[in-house]
Structure 1
Amino acid sequence: MPVDDDSNRRLPSSAPIYRSLLEPTRFAQFLSIGVIGAIVDNSVLVLLVEAAALAPTVAAFGAKESSILLMFALNERWTFEAQSGGGYKRRLWRLVKSNAVRVAGASIGIATLYVLHVRFGIWYLAANVLGIGVGFLFNYTLEALVTWSVHTEDRSVE
């Protein structure tokens, strides 16, 4: 009678993608940079709302873009350093892709801010923090797969 030996079974072809996304060090680095980005985002938001008297949902656009640029630079140098080569043109292309991904994530965050603040009366800063949290997993997944293509580094494992 044949023995069912699980050790010889191959992982599905999507395994390298999941393995790359779930790599704990990279995820922790991305999260750490996200915390820095959230601090910048909220600081700029408060400045624009309180000093420039902009509506929170309008001010959020400037706050988000300032944190997006900072987080790209930090992720480029630390979190995704192994995927960051290629010179000026490739770095600029990654910045464009990162900005597109993050603008989509920021839209999720701004929509959350709008709904929580305008519709439910939650303080704008608390609503913004919740919006950042909602956009985090979206941003991490697309940044890792689209901007820095981390899943391609595991192709040799298959």
Structure 2
Amino acid sequence: MSDPGPLEAVHDGVVALRSGTRLGQFVSAGLVGMAVDNAVLVSLVEFAGLSPVVGKVIAWEAAIVVIFAINERWTFSTFASGDREALARRFLRSNAVRLAGLLVTLGVLAGLVYGAGVWYPAANVVGIGVGFVVNYVAESLYTWRVQYGER
């Protein structure tokens, strides 16, 4: 069987993203990660005296570790086969992918906190919501390489 052309590949990717079960699991993992993210963020701002933006960067990585573990074992478990080296590659890809989501989240957080005076935990939740689409698409297609018609 030959490789699909660019239009077929895009179509197959879009169809693969429409899995309601996988999307629900991804959202659930994200909600756990959001709770971790906000708990770490508030702790770092309120108790360690960090700025919301600096605290967000640290909180982001803590949440990424939790989200990756949930997605690896649950959401994308059928795509997560392989040895430790493969696991390490997926973790690095996940961090790279989520960097785009972090930049979106940081932009929204900074804009809402410093530009509009929004309370930083609320601004963080809004930013996470905005970055969700970028994360779901990139994690599905790049980190775990989900394709239509597979598993």
Same fold at TM > 0.5: yes
* Within-5 A mapping of 1:1-158: 13=8, 14-151=10-147, 154=149
If the length of structure 1 is used for normalisation, what is the TM-score? 0.88
| Cα distance between partner residues in 1 of 2:126 and 2:140 | 22
| Cα distance between partner residues in 2 of 1:16 and 1:78 | 22
- Write out per-residue CA displacement over residues 35-78 of structure 1, whole angstroms, 9 at most, x where no aligned residue: 00000000000000000011101100000000001100110000
Structure 1 residue 82: Cα displacement: 0.5
RMSD of Structure 2 on Structure 1 (CA): 1.4
Runs (4 or more) in structure 1 with deviation over 4 Å come to none
| Cα distance between partner residues in 2 of 1:148 and 1:64 | 20
Q: How many residues were matched structurally?
A: 144
| Cα distance between partner residues in 2 of 1:16 and 1:104 | 23
- SS in structure 2 of the partner of residue 154 of structure 1: coil
| Cα distance between partner residues in 1 of 2:11 and 2:103 | 30
| Cα distance between partner residues in 2 of 1:131 and 1:112 | 5
If the length of structure 2 is used for normalisation, what is the TM-score? 0.92
Structure possessing the higher radius of gyration over alpha carbons: 1
| Cα distance between partner residues in 1 of 2:71 and 2:105 | 20
Corresponding residue number in structure 1 for 2:3: none
